[in-house]
Amino acid sequence: MTTQPPTHDDDETVEAETSQGESRDGISLPHSFVVWRSRHLMALADPDESDRRALTTPEWFIVRFGFDASDIVREQVLRIQKQYGFSNRQIKILKHSGVLRIQGAEVILEARAWHIWVGWVFVSLMILYVFPIITAMMLASHPTVYQLLNASLACAVFGFTAMVAHLIFVHANRLVLDSVEHAGRP
């Protein structure tokens, strides 16, 4: 007589898996599997059901938004998400860029227009600094492999730095300013 392993429906599995990666059956699961499983279930879940789980289950909220929060803060974050139509990824970007701040039990969504200017000034200064270096390396009469590798590395570092600066300073603040302006229109 063979016994079938216990089957779990999705609700029981998510609630049974702890943040340390153990299932209800005591089987140790890798953390990456638990996160993948939670994201997979989140993608399949109804948006209202996902919001309910995010309010009641801290682990679900962490996987969904990338940070931990109290019950009151979780409720405010979900309200802001619904009010302005932000996606889960956009909430993560806003939180990590500092535009969405948590002070005590209050969530503050504050875009600063001067951050956009700081971002563009930073990218412009990077262009003014990196472009002459790359041009000098490439226009050398007989560039060595070392010089070409340095030019490639400078381009890669500049590209990554410009992308991060744009994401943190420009994109996050522009996202909030556009959403607030759009939400204010009838």
> DSSP string spanning 111-152?
--HHHHHHHHHHHHHHHHHHHHHHHHHHTSSS--HHHHHHHH
Angle, alpha carbons 59-65-71 (nearest 5°) = 55
Of residues 133 and 102, which shows the higher confidence score?
Answer: 102
Average pLDDT over residues 158-181: 85
pLDDT for 6: 43
Confidence of residue 34 (pLDDT cuts 50, 70, 90): low
CB-based contact 42:64 (threshold 8 Å): yes
pLDDT for 91: 93
The per-residue pLDDT for range 105-163, each reduced to its tens digit, is: 899 988 888 888 888 888 888 888 888 877 877 777 787 888 888 888 888 888 898 88
- Which has the closest alpha carbon to 30: 18, 40, 41, 39? 18
pLDDT for 107: 93
Confidence of residue 46 (pLDDT cuts 50, 70, 90): confident
- For residues 165 and 119, what is the distance between their CA atoms, to the nearest angstrom? 6
Give this prediction's pTM.
0.65
- For residues 17 and 25, what is the distance between their CA atoms, to the nearest angstrom? 9
Highest mean pLDDT among 18-22, 89-93, 146-150, 165-169: 89-93
What is the rounded radius of gyration, in angstroms, for the C-alpha atoms of the chain? 23
Confidence check: pLDDT of 27 > 60: no
- For residues 35 and 38, what is the distance between their CA atoms, to the nearest angstrom? 5
